[in-house]
């Protein structure tokens, strides 16, 4: 394994032209100058409210979106410049699992054919070896061989997502990008699929980028966490630091709203936050969180804080008062 990070995201921004009121065309910035490095074997959770840019980030990493600015390097190579064999190899090494387990499966293919499809497209093995590989993959994801001749509409949601995972790992990828992979499943099934993902990660030696709005799920699975707000990463660090000593008021408010994570209970994620997320078309100046931040001061409305190490937490935070938030100054009680 190389020493350099598996994935390096540098200054990624993504804008979309939109019509806006009487102003005509404006730019909606879904991602705003995102930097992120991911080492091999990391399980990185990317969290934030709906519309924070986490799915756009995931889609940029798997080449479903072109960044407006910035670069994404995989194993040291700019992925948006890849062509020919290098591009084909990248598509084998980086796979995505989507939220909707039904929509992601070809409806007229039985399970065996659907799991074999990525192998066939890549020209992997012979008919016989592909058959053995399909049987092995079904076993890896905890599905009986008898399901191979069933069709997606004959499966439960959890079984469908297991088939999607089998397809995603068929070509032995290095990186799996999982975009809300359990949020469409029943809670009891969520736990089973999360256990499967955790088991696979250690057995197969995968790196995960796990996109989720659910902090409980991220705490269960991830060893690193990045928190996004309005297209930016506002906190990034080891999961233990972020969950036990959040160094950004937004992270603290998200955690505080969830009873299992030490919140006061009775609320859903984000409900302790005042106001709505501002429009990404009219981004607030200074710290983008300042209109909602309960501890905002004068500087927050004018100077944008950069991501810096907060020694009191061990995480990186984009807050002017990160150490005070992470420390025992009494600020936390106001969040």
Nearer to ligand SF4 by Cβ, of 289 and 316: the residue is 289
Q: Taking CB under 6 A as the rule, does residue 289 contact ligand SF4?
A: yes
Q: Taking CB under 6 A as the rule, does residue 295 contact ligand SF4?
A: yes
CB of 292 to ligand SF4, least distance (A): 8
Q: Taking CB under 6 A as the rule, does residue 249 contact ligand SF4?
A: yes
CB of 229 to ligand SF4, least distance (A): 9
Q: Taking CB under 6 A as the rule, does residue 293 contact ligand SF4?
A: yes
CB of 222 to ligand SF4, least distance (A): 23
Can you tell me which of 218, 227, 320, 335 binds ligand SF4, judged by CB under 6 A?
Answer: 320
Q: Taking CB under 6 A as the rule, does residue 319 contact ligand SF4?
A: yes
Can you tell me which of 196, 300, 307, 310 binds ligand SF4, judged by CB under 6 A?
Answer: 300
Q: Taking CB under 6 A as the rule, does residue 232 contact ligand SF4?
A: no
CB atoms within 10 A of CB 76: 10
Q: Report how far residue 317's alpha carbon sits from residue 298's, in angstroms, rounded to the nearest whole number.
A: 19
Q: Which span (14-22, 38-46, 77-85, 318-326) binds ligand SF4, by CB under 6 A? A: 318-326
Q: Which span (28-36, 104-112, 160-168, 285-293) binds ligand SF4, by CB under 6 A? A: 285-293
Q: Which span (39-47, 162-170, 188-196, 295-303) binds ligand SF4, by CB under 6 A? A: 295-303
Dihedral angle computed from the Cα positions of residues 18, 23, 26 and 28, in that order, rounded to the nearest 10 degrees: -70
Q: Which span (118-126, 174-182, 272-280, 287-295) binds ligand SF4, by CB under 6 A? A: 287-295
The residues, ordered by sequence, that sit 6+ positions from 244 with a Cβ below 8 Å of its Cβ are: none
Q: Taking CB under 6 A as the rule, does residue 290 contact ligand SF4?
A: yes
Closest CA to 307 of 36, 1, 22: 36
Size of the site for ligand SF4 (CB under 6 A): 13
Q: Which span (42-50, 169-177, 196-204, 293-301) binds ligand SF4, by CB under 6 A? A: 293-301
Summarize as ranges the residues that interact with ligand SF4 (CB under 6 A): 248-249, 287, 289-290, 293, 295-296, 300, 305, 319-321
């Amino acid at each position: 394994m190389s020493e350099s990070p598996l994935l390096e995201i540098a200054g990624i921004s993504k804008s979309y032209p939109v019509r806006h009121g009487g102003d005509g065309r404006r730019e909606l910035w879904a991602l705003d100058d995102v930097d992120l490095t991911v080492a091999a074997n990391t399980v990185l959770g990317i969290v934030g409210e709906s519309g924070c840019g986490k799915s756009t980030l995931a889609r940029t990493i798997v080449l479903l979106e072109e960044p407006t600015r910035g670069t994404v390097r995989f194993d040291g190579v700019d992925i948006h410049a890849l062509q020919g064999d290098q591009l084909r190899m990248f598509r084998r090494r980086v796979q995505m699992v989507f939220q909707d387990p039904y929509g992601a499966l070809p409806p007229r293919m039985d399970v065996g054919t659907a799991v074999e499809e990525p192998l066939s497209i890549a020209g992997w093995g012979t008919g016989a070896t592909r058959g053995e590989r399909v049987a092995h993959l079904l076993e890896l994801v905890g599905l009986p061989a008898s399901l191979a001749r069933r069709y997606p509409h004959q499966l439960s949601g959890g079984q469908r997502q297991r088939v999607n995972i089998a397809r995603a790992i068929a070509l032995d990828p290095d990186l799996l990008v999982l975009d809300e992979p359990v949020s469409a499943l029943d809670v009891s099934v969520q736990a089973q699929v999360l256990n499967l993902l955790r088991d696979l990660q250690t057995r197969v030696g995968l790196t995960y980028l796990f996109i989720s709005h659910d902090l409980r799920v991220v705490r269960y699975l991830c060893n690193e966490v990045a928190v996004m707000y309005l297209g930016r990463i506002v906190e990034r660090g080891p999961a233990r630091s972020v969950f036990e000593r959040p160094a950004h008021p937004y992270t603290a408010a998200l955690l505080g709203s969830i009873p299992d994570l030490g919140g006061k209970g009775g609320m859903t994620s984000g409900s302790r936050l005042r106001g709505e997320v501002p429009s990404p078309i009219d981004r607030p100046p200074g710290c983008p969180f300042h209109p909602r931040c309960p501890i905002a001061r004068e500087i927050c409305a004018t100077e944008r804080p950069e991501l810096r190490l907060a020694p009191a937490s061990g995480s990186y935070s984009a807050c002017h008062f990160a150490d005070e938030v992470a420390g025992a100054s009494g600020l936390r009680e106001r969040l």
